[in-house]
Amino acid sequence: MPGRTGMNLETLDHGRLHAERDWVPLLRANGLDAFENVMGRTGGRVVRDFPGRRTVRLELKSPGGGTQAIYLKRYESTYLTRGRWLRRRFGVDSGEDEAMGEWTNIHEVRLIGINTAASIAVGQERSGGMVTRSFLMTAEITGAIEGHTFVETLAQEPRRKLMRRVGELARRFHAAGFVHKDFYLGHILVVPGAGEPDLFLIDQQRVTKPCCFRERWIAKDLGAMAYSSLRAGATRTDLMRSYLEYCGQRRLGPAEKRLARRVMRRVSWLTTRRPRHDGDYDPAL
């Protein structure tokens, strides 16, 4: 049973699907209270299309009227490359089912005070005791703008202020033991408001708590954030202010300078890389 939801969890379709109780009426009203119905649902706008994994945005009819936008991320059996199949078969942590992993991560990250998407449902199909197909369903964050798109609209002072908040979010995230592994600015959503905008961390299927080589993973996270921020129009001064906030210091000591050098080496490497599938941060664009 997926954890960290207490008594709010309801099991459907003979255990193949778990849903937050408040969302069950929405699922039933749209015929999505069975695993195969969810996996076979057609339509919607494709957001990501990775071999064996597709994310779509759907608008569902709410039981009380109106619509509810949701994101549905589905993993088919073709997602299991030989390497993933072996890791999953032998119970290696990096080979766990990504849908259930992200479901758990959403709840754990929320416990440390970081906003993220509301979880709706998760489902799994097993063969020979191993998960071969799965899905994760989350609610759309109303009014949210991808971080890199939002930063492009800002003048210097509000941009610098936002980047400091990104640094503070990253500090809390890493201090809790997590690393993201896809920590690009586009995976922080911004919801503008009358006061300070709200920040939400999304796409957590690869989030983990590494037992070793933590500085390496932290440098990769911060490198991805720095690279995508520069691409969105942030300056190196913006990044320094953000990094100082991340370190919680006014001046950098030897350890912080060493990490900063690793981060900038990572940025240099990313500028030479062409992503294999999702092209959001392709330097050739």
Q: Which pLDDT tens digit goes with each residue over 70-81? A: 999 999 988 877
95 with 219, same domain: the answer is no
pTM, full prediction: 0.89
* CATH assignment of the domain containing 243: 1.10.510.10
The C-alpha angle 167, 261, 187, rounded to 5 degrees, equals: 35
Domain count, the chain: 2
Q: Is residue 276 part of a domain?
A: no
Backbone angles phi, psi at 11, to 5 degrees: -100, 130
Distance CA 79, CA 85 (A): 9
Region of 38 please: left (phi>0), alpha (psi -120 to 50) or beta. alpha
Q: Is residue 285 part of a domain?
A: no
Q: Is residue 81 part of a domain?
A: yes
Q: Which of 123, 139, 155 is the last residue of a domain?
A: 139
Tens digits of residue pLDDT in 30-46: 999 999 999 999 999 99
Q: Which of 115, 139, 163 is the last residue of a domain?
A: 139
Q: Is residue 284 part of a domain?
A: no
Can you give the residue range of the structural domain that contains 54? Answer: 6-139
Tens digits of residue pLDDT in 97-133: 889 999 999 999 999 999 999 999 999 998 877 889 9
113 with 222, same domain: the answer is no
109 with 184, same domain: the answer is no
180 with 113, same domain: the answer is no
135 with 149, same domain: the answer is no
Q: Which of 100, 124, 139 is the last residue of a domain?
A: 139
Q: Is residue 278 part of a domain?
A: no
